[in-house]
Amino acid sequence: MLDNNLDTALNDSSLFSRLEKRAAVSLASLYGFRMLGLFMVLPILALYIDDYRGASPLLLGITLGVYGLTQAALQIPLGLLSDKIGRRPVIVGGLLVFILGSVVAATAESMTGLIIGRAIQGAGAIASTLMALVSDLTSEENRTKAMATIGASIGLSFMLAMIIGPLIASAVGLAGVFWVTALLGCLGIIIVMRWVPRAVAVERNRETQTDLKQIRGLLKDPNLLRLNFGIFALHLTLMAAFVVIPVLLAEELGMVGSDLWWVYLILLGGGFVAMLPAMIAGEKYQRQKLSFTSAVGCMTVAMLLLALLRSPVLTPIMLLMFFAAFNLLEASLPSWLSKVCPPGQKGTAMGLYSTCQFFGAFVGGVLGGWSVQRFGVDGLFLLLAAIGCVWWVFALGLQAPRALQTVVLNVGDMECENFAKLILKVPGVDDILVIEGEQLAYAKVDKKTVDMSGLKPYFNR
C-alpha cells in the first residue's frame, strides 16, 4: 500500500529552521558574489584587449578561459582537503587567492599579466567545498531547497554580470572591473566570517562528498558520460562565442560599450522567458529528453546561421535563440545528473561534472581565440556548429530521467548484504548503496510507486 504521506517523508515542505535558512542565504550570496566577479569580464573583455601589450585573438581566448583550467585542476583536490582540515579554512583561503588574482589582473599592463591574474582567480576553486558545507549545515529534507537557492544565485549572478560589467567598464575601464571583483572577494570573506553559521551537522552526507574510489565506475556510466560531455560542450560554446559576441554587437550592430548593458538585458531576459515554457512542459509531461535535444539543436542552428547569414536583424535573433537554449541546458543538466547518478555517489559525480564544466570553459576560450585568429569569425561559428552536431548525436542516447529520489536509511545491526536484499524487495526501490562501517544506506526510490511502509522502520533519524 502506498504511503499517503509520501511527499512529506521524501520532501518535507516545512520551513527552513533559522540556522538552515541563514546558511542557505549566506552561502548563496557568497557563491553569487564570487561568480559575479568571474562573469563580469565576459561581455566586455574583447572590447578592451587592444589596451594591453601583445594582444591577439588567441591570447584573448586564453584570458577568457584560463580560469577554467585552474578551476578544473583544483576542484576535487580542494574538496578533499576540506574534508580533512575543515570547510572554512579552504573557503577563506580560496577567496584570498581569488582576490590576489583579481588584483594581479587589475594592475596588469599586458596580456600575459591578464592571463596570470585570471589563472590565479580560478585557483581559488571552492565550489565543491561550498556544496559540501551546504550539506553540513542543512538537514536531509531541506538540502534540496538550499541547493536550489544556490543554483538560482548562480543564474542571477550571470545575468547581473552581463549588465553590470559593461556599465563598470564604460565608467572606469577593464581594470575597474577587476578591482570591483577583488572587492566582491573581500565581501565574500566577511560573509564567511560573520554570517555563515559555524554549527555543522555531526554526520556529513556522503551524497555530497567526493570519493576517489568511485571515479572509475562513474566514468563508465553511459548516461553520466553524455551529461559530462554536455556540460563540457555547453561551456566550451559559451566561452568561445564570447570571444566574438562583444565585437559583433559593437561593430555589426553599432552598440558601443555604454549601450551593451541593455542589449544583454534584452538578450538574456528574453532568452530566459523563451526557455521557460519548454522547460516547464518538459517537466510536466515527462518530455525532458525532447526539450533537451531540441535546445541543443537550437543552439547548433544559431551557431550555423551566425556563420552564414549575419545581419542587423538576424544576428540579435540568433543570439536570443542561443541564450534561450543556454539557459535551458544550464538548468537541465545538473538536475538530470542528480536524478541518474548512483545512490551515495552524488558528491563524486558532481565533482567530475564541475571539472568537465570548467575544463570546457578553458578549451572554449583557447579554441575560440585560435579559430578566430586562423579562420575568422565565420570559421569559429562553423566549428561551434559542428561541435553542436556531435553533442546532439550524443544526447540522443540519453535515457530520460525517472522521478527518483534518494532516502537515507539506518542499517542498524544487520549485515550489509542482507539489508540490501531486504530493501531491494520493497516495491519502488530502484537501487541501494550500503556504507560498511557507518550503518548507513542510500536508497533510490520511485516517488510514484514506492511502498514507504517497508522503509519507514529504517529511516535515518
Instruction: Say which CATH number the domain at 436 has.
Output: 3.30.70.100
Distance of CA 17 to the CA centre of its chain: 26
Q: What cell numbers appear for 10 in the block?
A: 521524501
375 in the same domain as 439: no
Q: Looking at residue 374, what is its pLDDT?
A: 94
Cβ neighbours around 174 below 10 Å, total: 23
Cell numbers for 85: 582540515
292, 193: one domain:
no
Query: In this structure, are 67 and 167 located in the same domain?
Result: yes
- Give me the pLDDT at residue 214, please: 78
Neighbour-count burial for 55-84, b at 16+ CB within 10 Å, e otherwise? bebbbbbbbbbbbbbbbbbbbbebbbbbbe
What pLDDT is attached to residue 206? 59
Same domain as 267, residue 196: no
Task: Give the CATH number, domain containing residue 201.
Answer: 1.20.1250.20
Distance CA 102, CA 116 (A): 10
State residue 438's pLDDT score.
65
Task: Indicate whether 346 and 415 sit together in one domain.
Answer: no
Last residue of a domain, one of 154, 182, 210: 210
**Cell numbers of 181, please?**
571583483
Residues 125 and 14 in one domain: yes
Q: Is there a contact between 93 and 74 (Cβ–Cβ < 8 Å)?
A: no
Q: What is the pLDDT of residue 402?
A: 67
Instruction: Specify if 215 maps to a domain.
Output: no
Find out whether 242 and 43 touch, Cβ atoms under 8 Å. yes
Whether residue 251 sits in one domain with residue 195 = no
Calculated CA dihedral for residues 295, 299, 304, 305, nearest 10 degrees:
90
- Distance CA(131)–CA(222), nearest Å, equals 25
Give the structural domain span for 52: 1-210
Residues 397 and 430 in one domain: no
Which pLDDT score is estimated for 135? 74
For residue 75, which amino acid is it?
Answer: Q
Residues 243 and 353 occupy one common structural domain: yes
pLDDT of residue 144: 65
Choosing from 164, 180, 210, the residue where a domain stops is 210
Residues 149 and 181 in one domain: yes
8-state DSSP, 402? P
Looking from the CA of 81 toward its CB, the CA atoms found within 13 Å total 15
Domain count for the chain, please give it: 3
pLDDT of residue 201: 45
Of 210, 240, 261, the residue that ends a domain is 210
Tens of pLDDT, residue by residue, the chain (461 residues):
334 443 443 344 344 577 788 888 898 899 888 889 889 999 999 999 999 999 999 999 999 999 999 999 998 898 888 878 888 999 999 999 999 999 999 999 999 999 999 999 999 988 888 877 887 787 666 766 777 777 778 878 888 998 899 999 989 999 999 999 999 999 999 999 999 887 544 445 555 566 777 788 888 888 899 999 999 999 999 999 999 999 888 877 777 766 788 888 888 888 878 777 877 777 666 778 888 999 999 999 999 999 998 888 899 999 999 999 998 888 788 878 877 777 667 777 878 888 999 999 999 999 999 999 999 999 999 999 999 999 999 999 988 766 667 777 877 777 777 777 788 878 878 777 776 666 777 777 776 777 777 777 777 65
Q: Kindly list the distances between the CA atom of residue 403 and the CA atoms of 9, 223, 408, in Å, as whole numbers in the listed order.
A: 15, 16, 17
